[in-house]
């Protein structure tokens, strides 16, 4: 498994290889179309690869990395200017993040030993992950909290892990602590962070949309990059109707400038040249009324097999789509809801 792409672990890596589960707490299901803000904590422990920090922790607000820590540094680091200012006014939160990172590292060491014994493993590269956090509807203040785990990129609930799961499920004190964390502390922090970073978090940036194709026989990829927020959808239409067949929907991924990118592929193997004009790609961004519509046009397709019209600053987009790291292949495992709780109980 190839792990290192950038100088530091990125949330791209953490999100893509995550296939997690254990506890999800729902405080009423969202019923409005209002904006939902999120605070996610992502922990990744890597055993057996010295090029990578043994433990990495990332906090994300609305998809943007705001706090980073790893086993090679002694204190968590804010990654946004507005987060730095917010924590200067209330430093106890940074103390909590730092201690939580250290605790996560200790937990990783203990859990990795248990899991390797359970799976009868003595060596190799292994990855243990945890993702927890909350989502908050800004109108109804309804909360959706979760605490999920994964091992080697797969759902934690394999037979070998059931003993560990049973121990967690019967630890009532720990479950009560997790519920308090996800339904009380997490939403409070999220409100504070959104208020502190609203000039950045509540902004809107429209994408640059391009049509890309790897080879003449490959699907055509509609690629949108540079948009914000990450609440966006993109799809192909034919004669104004959304297509569900011959379409491959990609994930929303973060860029390094705090914007996002996504793609959706269309299989054109059965599309005749005269029918191309009947297809278009539609990008919709939360908070923006007008769609970004791109007509399927052979003259507008950018390729990497000989189209010399691609500028240098656009070449990286083509490479990003067609030279994905090995661990990007396929989609992440489905998240499971093994236990659900409601605050009305």
Query: What is the model's pTM?
Result: 0.69
- The domain that contains 247 carries what CATH number? 2.60.40.10
2 in any annotated domain: no
pLDDT score at 169: 66
- The domain that contains 68 carries what CATH number? 3.30.500.10
Examine the domain organization and report whether 141 and 122 are in the same domain.
yes
What does the radius of gyration of the chain's CA atoms come to, in whole angstroms? Answer: 22
324 in any annotated domain: no
pLDDT score at 27: 43
Examine the domain organization and report whether 214 and 335 are in the same domain.
no
4 in any annotated domain: no
Domain count of the chain? 2
Examine the domain organization and report whether 15 and 65 are in the same domain.
yes
Examine the domain organization and report whether 107 and 175 are in the same domain.
yes
Examine the domain organization and report whether 217 and 187 are in the same domain.
no
Examine the domain organization and report whether 164 and 290 are in the same domain.
no
Examine the domain organization and report whether 153 and 226 are in the same domain.
no
Examine the domain organization and report whether 186 and 272 are in the same domain.
no
pLDDT score at 162: 57
The residue range of the domain holding 117 is 11-201+329-341
Tens digits of residue pLDDT in 146-158: 888 888 887 665 5
Examine the domain organization and report whether 54 and 182 are in the same domain.
yes
315 in any annotated domain: no
80 in any annotated domain: yes
248 in any annotated domain: yes
317 in any annotated domain: no
319 in any annotated domain: no
Examine the domain organization and report whether 191 and 279 are in the same domain.
no
pLDDT score at 52: 84
Examine the domain organization and report whether 262 and 173 are in the same domain.
no
List, for the chain, all residue ranges whose pLDDT scores fall below the cut of 50.
1-33, 307-345
Tens digits of residue pLDDT in 236-253: 999 999 999 999 999 999
Examine the domain organization and report whether 266 and 121 are in the same domain.
no
């Amino acid at each position: 498994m190839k792990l290192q792409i950038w100088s530091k672990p990125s949330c791209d890596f953490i999100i893509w290889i995550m296939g997690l589960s254990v506890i999800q707490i729902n405080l009423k299901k969202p019923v409005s179309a209002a904006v939902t803000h999120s605070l996610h904590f992502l922990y990744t422990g890597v055993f057996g690869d010295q090029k990578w920090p043994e433990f990495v922790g990332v906090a994300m607000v609305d998809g943007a990395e705001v706090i980073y820590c790893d086993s090679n540094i002694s204190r968590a680091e804010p990654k946004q200017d507005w987060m730095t200012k917010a924590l200067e006014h209330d430093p106890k939160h940074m103390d909590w993040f730092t201690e939580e990172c250290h605790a996560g590292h200790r937990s990783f060491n203990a859990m990795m030993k248990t899991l390797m014994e359970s799976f009868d493993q003595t060596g190799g590269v292994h990855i243990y992950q945890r993702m927890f956090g909350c989502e908050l509807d800004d109108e109804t203040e309804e909360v959706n909290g979760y605490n999920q785990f994964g091992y080697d990129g797969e759902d934690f609930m394999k037979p070998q892990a059931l003993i560990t799961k049973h121990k967690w499920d019967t630890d009532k004190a720990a479950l009560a602590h997790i519920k308090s964390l996800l339904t009380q502390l997490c939403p409070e922090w999220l409100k504070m962070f959104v208020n502190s970073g609203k000039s950045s978090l509540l902004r809107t940036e429209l994408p640059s949309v391009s049509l890309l194709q790897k080879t003449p026989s490959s699907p055509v990829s509609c690629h949108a990059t540079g948009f914000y927020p990450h609440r966006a959808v993109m799809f192909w239409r034919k004669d104004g109707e959304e297509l569900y067949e011959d379409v491959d929907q990609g994930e929303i991924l973060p860029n390094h400038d705090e914007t996002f990118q996504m793609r959706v592929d269309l299989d054109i193997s059965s599309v005749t040249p005269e029918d191309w004009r009947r297809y278009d790609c539609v990008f919709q961004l939360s908070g923006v009324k007008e769609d970004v519509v791109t007509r399927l046009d052979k003259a507008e397709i950018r390729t990497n097999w000989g189209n010399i019209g691609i500028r240098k600053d656009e070449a990286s987009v083509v490479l990003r789509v067609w030279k994905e790291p090995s661990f990007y292949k396929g989609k992440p495992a489905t998240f499971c809801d093994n236990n659900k709780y409601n605050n009305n109980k």
